[in-house]
Amino acid sequence: MFTRTHTCGELRASHIGQTVRLNGWVNSYRDHGNLIFIDLRDRYGVTQLVFDTDDAKNAGAADAGDKHAHTGMMGAADKLRNEDVISVEGTVRIRSGGENPKLDTGKVEVVVTSLVLLNKTENPPFLPDVIGTLPNEEVRLKYRYIDLRRPAMQKIVSTRSKALQSVRKYFVDANMFTEVETPVLYKSTPEGAREFLVPCRNVPGSFYALPQSPQLFKQILMVSGCDRYLQICRCFRDEDPRADRQAEFTQIDLEMSFVRREHIMTMMEGFVRHFWKDMLGYDVPPMQRMTYRNAMETYGIDRPDTRYGLHITDISEIAAKTDFKVFRDALAKGADRPRFNSKRGVVKAIRVPGGAEKLTRKITDGYSDLAKRFGAGGVATAKYIADPAGAKFDTGCAKFLEPIKAELVAALGLEPGDTLLFIADTYSVATKAIGELRQQVARDTNVVPKPGAEGGPWNFLWVIDFPMFEKNKDTGKWIAMHHPFTAPRDDQRDLFVSASVDDDDTIESIVSAGYDIVLNGSEIAGGSVRIHDRDVQSKVFQLLGLTPEQAKEKFSFLLEALSFGAPPHAGIAFGFDRLIMHICGTDNIRDVIAFPKTQVGADLMTRAPSAATPAQLKDLFIASTWTPEPSKA
RNA sequence: GGGGCGAUAGCUCAAUUGGUUAGAGCACCGGCCUGUCACGCCGGAGGUUGCGGGUUCGAGCCCCGUUCGCCUCGCCA
């Protein structure tokens, strides 16, 4: 009936003379009266169809008809509009009007002898064949099925599909991983991200949670002897989204038994190499490694973008030698703390080459606002300029810098024409603020290369040696930096076991066996060697402030499993959506998800979430406490 | 929860510092056109300027509130 013989991207000069049937959407039409061109589109491409009164008759169309009388096939072709779905039969021939080099099928056209209108469309809100600006995202999301017809979106969808195959090829086919599915209805463990809850009808008043990750199941699988586990799984975190983050996202979840850090890093680096080769033909060079401390010191962030310099320098010792109140006050904070302690007062600086010209007063004024958003007091600035009497500091806090000029020039490699930016505060505040500042300066001075997909460098990086714990600013309690099942680095075990609950400085200094993969400033994977020793796991819970009773209530199954022959194991999870973003060169995660959600978790197409009926709630023993706020107007 | 930006025809955008009947391109409807490929030509229809208040002789424009979308801080073990 309408079984096609070819796709719309398939026909070439070699098909000339053949009778073919094509199905697809009307991409555009050019109506010349008794000659009508239709560009027919499917996901493989576009083919030009011709409806010609004379030709159709010559080609043997049963009912060629006449457009002006609105009869037969010509009359029907005259009524075709963009996005109508049609099936046509016809003959392939060379284009007599010259080829169209923009189309893969541009040498040929199909003279239609039979037209079937499979489905007439309403006037669509926008056309997949976008000329100029895309409609705004609200419209694209509401009519997602139209947006997905766009070739650019079709390409992403198929790239994502190919990527899934590539993942399985490496792990399952080549490296003996077993793909295992774990529950989506899961036990609530209210550490970490906020969870989505699912009421349980059979046990009134109780709830499942949707998993933030299958972390504990995959560890239990290791105890089960699974040995090498893979799951391409959906995870749920009820937190506000960002450009590269959705509440519902996909992870490539992995775990291996009988390995330590080096083994799993080698395996995963092999995957990255395979994946980029498979997807883009790119050979990933051996990946650099950077410690967390080095990343924080030099880049002010745990996922450094190493495609550009603008390195951060700690000038605390030099800054102590000048009488600048901003520096002095900062350095007085936690002066008795160890060198890298989060509470120690520090002064950090960035040298911006050529900044004296590139960074206007307006731009640098904005930097203080940026620093304030991250808790710092502001940004001190000074230009270093050429002068007949020798290069000198100018503007900003210049006069305070003259006494330490020689040392600053040596420490920072200053050249005339540079601008210096300073942030002075506690280690944790100054580090974060100047790390954000560095990225803003990079954007302002145009030193960020195009993304790798557009020909820029792919800078892969392992970040290792994370702290085990960090302090929660609000509660003052220790929390696991990665998660509570992360093991201390092998050489830290004695220090860890000896740490007492109230010894903050020691707890802060313990290094974990965690590792992240960072690509161009974006975290694409994170994992760790896991704790496989029940006593070590109990100690972690203790340091996190869980009583033995609480630990048992929440994690008894894990502690029991660890005591019944748990092998050493380690794992990692890749953010699959982010991998696809990099491969496709987009900075919007919604572009790589077929049916994404908005900032408030809404699906604009289906209108989810929606209210439940009283009957549904009654079945679930749920009552809502929500009431609309009375209007203030 | 906080900050920023935005919303005008189906879509993308205009609309002089608050002043006539809110315009254009594309899409749509009608007509013409036999070699186009962003086809062309003639004509037409299409608006609660997101919504609700307010200021004003007069509001798309100013003020307040609100809804929705995007970016972001917090958050994301």
Looking up tokens 């599909």 gives A161
ipTM: 0.94
Confidence of residue A632 (pLDDT cuts 50, 70, 90): very low
A53: CB within 7 A of chain B nucleic strand: yes
What average pLDDT score do residues A425-444 get?
93
Q: Name the DSSP letter for residue A301.
A: S
Quote the CA–CA distance of A64 and A58 in Å, as a whole number.
9
pLDDT band at A63 (very low <50, low <70, confident <90, very high): confident
Rama region for A607: left / alpha / beta (φ>0; ψ in -120 to 50; rest): left
pLDDT score recorded for residue A629: 52
What angle do the packed helices A261-280 and A151-168 form, to 10 degrees?
A: 140
Q: Which residues make Cβ contacts (< 8 Å) with residue A102, sequence separation at least 6?
A: none
Task: Give me the count of residues in chain A.
Answer: 633
How would residue A4 be classed by pLDDT, with cut points 50, 70 and 90? very high
Distance (Å, whole) CA A345 – CA A425: 6
The mean pLDDT value for A228-248 works out to 96
Instruction: For residue A190, say whether its CB is under 7 Å from any atom of strand B.
Output: no
* CA–C1' A384–B58 (A): 57
Q: Could you identify the residue whose CA is nearest to the C1' atom of nucleotide B71?
A: A243
Contact A154, A258 (CB under 8 A): no
Alpha carbon separation from A47 to A32, A50, A95, A610 (Å, rounded): 18, 10, 11, 42
CA distance A266 to A462: 11
pLDDT of residue A345: 92
- Residues A297 and A313: their CA atoms lie apart, in Å, by 7
Give the phi and the psi of residue A185 in degrees, each rounded to 5: -85, 120
Cis previous bond, A628, omega within 30: no
Mean pLDDT of the A28-44 span: 96
The bases of strand B with some atom under 7 A from any protein CB are: 1-2, 10-13, 26-29, 32-40, 52-53, 65-66, 68-77
- Convert the pLDDT of each residue in A569-613 to its tens digit: 999 999 999 999 999 999 999 999 999 999 999 999 999 999 889
pLDDT tens digits, A280-297: 999 999 999 999 999 999
CA–C1' span, A122 to B20, in Å? Answer: 37
The residue with tokens 């040696």 is A465
User: What's the average model confidence in pLDDT over A79-92?
Assistant: 96
Question: For A3-7, A225-229, A243-247, A447-451, which range has the lowest pLDDT when averaged over its residues?
Answer: A447-451
Asked if residue A630 has pLDDT above 70, the reply is no
State the pLDDT confidence band at A189, using cuts at 50, 70 and 90: confident
A216 nearest nt, CA–C1'? B77
Instruction: Mark A71-110 as b/e (b = at least 16 C-beta within 10 Å).
Output: ebbbebbbebebbbbbbbbbbbbeeeeeebeebbbbbbbb
d(CA A66, CA A75): 6
Pick out residues 447-486 of chain A having their CB under 7 A from any atom of nucleic acid strand B: 473-474, 479-484
Separation CA A30–CA A56 (nearest Å)? 17
Residue A599 three-state SS: coil
Through-space separation of residue A549 CA and nucleotide B76 C1' in angstroms:
28
**Straight-line distance from CA A101 to C1' B31, in Å?**
33
The percentage of residues in chain A with a pLDDT greater than 90, rounded to a whole number, is 80
Is A10 near strand B, with its CB below 7 A from some atom of it? no
Is the C-beta atom of A192 closer than 7 angstroms to strand B? Answer: yes
CB A403 within 8 A of CB A320: no
Residue in this structure with the two tokens 């197409």, named with its chain if needed: A605
Residues 6+ apart with CB under 8 A from A343: A333, A334, A337, A426, A427, A428
Q: Is the CB of A588 under 7 A from strand B?
A: yes
What's the pLDDT at A633?
A: 33
Asked whether residue A120's C-beta has any atom of DNA/RNA strand B within 7 A, the reply is no
**CA of A102, C1' of B37: distance in angstroms:** 9
- Please report the pLDDT score of residue A628 as a whole number: 59
CA-to-C1' distance for A629 and B56, Å? 32
3-state SS of A526-595 is EEEEECCCHHHHHHHHHHCCCCHHHHHHHHHHHHHHHCCCCCCEEEEEEEHHHHHHHHHCCCCHHHHCCC
Amino acid A333: pLDDT: 87
Asked if strand B contacts A136 at the CB level, meaning under 7 A, the answer is: yes
Per residue in A257-280, pLDDT (tens digit) is 999 999 999 999 999 999 999 999
| Secondary structure of residue A161 in the 3-state scheme | helix
- Rounded to whole angstroms, the distance from the CA of residue A591 to the C1' of nucleotide B65 is 34
- pLDDT surpassing 90 at residue A473: no
Residue A15 in contact with residue A92, Cβ under 8 Å?
A: yes
Can you list the alpha helix ranges (DSSP code H) found in A281-324?
292-299, 316-319
Here the tokens at position A43 are 């996901």
Q: How confident is the model at residue A374 (pLDDT cuts 50, 70, 90)?
A: confident
CA of A300 to C1' of B73 (A): 17
Q: Which nucleotide is nearest to A472 (CA to C1')?
A: B77
Residues in A 308-367 whose C-beta is less than 7 A from nucleic strand B are none
Q: Does position A328 have pLDDT exceeding 80, yes or no? A: yes
User: Which H or E element spans position A290?
Assistant: strand A288-291
Average pLDDT over residues A69-85: 92
The protein residue nearest nucleotide B35, judged by CA to C1', is A97
- What mean pLDDT comes out for the span A457-467? 96
Q: Are the CB atoms for A111 and A93 separated by under 8 Å? A: yes
Strands A248-257 and A345-352, sheet pairing: unpaired
Nearest-angstrom CA–CA distance, A224 and A203: 29
What span, in angstroms and rounded, lies between the C-alpha atoms of A315 and A64? 84
The C-alpha atoms of residue A302 and residue A526 are separated, in whole angstroms, by: 11
User: Beta carbon of A242 within 7 Å of strand B?
Assistant: yes
Nearest CA among A211, A245, A295 for reference residue A464: A295
Stated in angstroms, how far is A630 CA from B54 C1'?
Answer: 20
User: Quick check: A331 pLDDT over 50?
Assistant: yes
Taking the stretch 142-171 of protein chain A, residues with Cβ within 7 Å of any atom in nucleic acid chain B are none
Res A6: pLDDT: 98
Secondary structure element (H or E) that encloses residue A270, with its range: helix A261-280
Q: What's the pTM?
A: 0.94
- pLDDT greater than 50 at residue A88: yes
